[in-house]
Amino acid sequence: MSTPRIVVTGIGATSPIGGTAPESWNALLSGASGARTLEHEWVEQYQLPVTFAAEALVRPETVLERPVAKRLDPSSQLAMVAAKEAWEDAGAPDIDPDRLGVDFATGIGGVWTLLDAWDTLREKGPRRVMPMTVPMLMPNAAAGNLSLHFNARAFARTVASACASSTESIVNAVQHIRDGLADVVIAGGTESAIHPITIASFASMQALSKRNDSPATASRPGSVDRDGFVMGEGAGVLILETEEHAKTRGAKIYATIVGGGVTADSYHITANDPEGRGAARAVRMALEMAGASPDDVTHINAHATSTPVGDPNEYQALRAVFGDRVDEIPVSATKASTGHLLGGTGALEAIFTVLALKNRVAPPTINITEQDPEVPFAISGAPVELGSGDQLAISNSFGFGGHNAVVAIASV
């Protein structure tokens, strides 16, 4: 029995640079930045050392019906907005609910709901804490609410692997379809964690850029003067199904998900393995599942968060797989534009990779003032045309806890 091909038939995204997937893609190509000074009283109230982030451009509560938005944490709101877009983009398939699944992800979950409830408890007492607090803050809230909204009864599963989460959810979705558990899967991830606590924590560990005077140019992956990542928020959703199922219903096909790899470093809770062994193994696993070799890869969407240590570690991991050729493959480091969406970043970047293959263009990497010789990726400040033939790309995601996830995507 042959292994079914898994294709992408719908995409949806709400990000710091666009309210939809097409808007985000066009803004990315134009060199936009989603990082802005935060206009919240709590920035000054807590004297936060970092005063900017990349908030979602369109607030989800202004898009969703009010009764729906009130029952959802902001992270689930973002997920719902992106999922509705992806579902409509896929043609709102008429499918047996028992054959529709959800593989979704978050890195942190409902942090706003949790900490707002804590404030209510301290200030007003236990009787004023909302009964929906736990259902709103739990990490599986987004997956559960998507299952309810789309009547998905095959499964509704949640990955929480820090910044590798939503790439891992895509890899899981591919495997679940191949295993015959579903015909169609809503896959992706979300995050809404731009909160005083998370900003203070990331800043305390020296992970965030401190360029408060120039937010739009703060995220500088691969640049010699990079000083940390920029927090972002948003969600990305892909509708995945077998090629046979898609063709039977006459769906358009963006690309094929041909492989995936998931590994663990077992090195440090926040730092990557400096030799990149786990990351390299995830890339090799993705290519092996795809039946491809490193020589077949024509584009890479790098994890590239703009941290002093993380960027060269990723370069070393890819060099272990691709050898000298890693310096020639067009690489996009899209967090320069979007910031780092944590649990939502892998899905958004998978969408960017899908659109790069569909449009035969690698998006630009902005804010490179001087490229670090220790990170000599083939990155460009302008879009780079890809060839007209078959294209194969990988999209990388690595996270706290030593999580590594890579997805391989082929053009159609």
Pairing outcome for strands 255-264 and 403-410: antiparallel
Contact between 178 and 243 under an 8 Å Cβ cutoff? The reply is no
Contact between 162 and 107 under an 8 Å Cβ cutoff? The reply is yes
- Residue 256, judged by CB atoms within 10 A of its CB (0-12, 13-18, 19+), counts as buried
Let me know if 153 is a catalytic residue: no
Question: Among all chains, which residue has been given the structure tokens 């790069």?
Answer: 356
Name the active-site residue from 137, 163, 207, 255: 163
Backbone angles phi, psi at 34, to 5 degrees: -95, 0
Question: Among all chains, which residue has been given the structure tokens 């703060």?
Answer: 218
CA atoms 285, 246, 170, 54: torsion sign? positive
Contact between 240 and 188 under an 8 Å Cβ cutoff? The reply is no
Sheet with 403-410, edge to edge strand ranges? 155-159, 100-105, 184-191, 234-242, 6-14, 255-264, 403-410, 392-399, 299-301, 331-332
> Residue 237 is encoded by which pair of tokens?
């959703």
Q: Catalytic residues, which ones?
A: 163
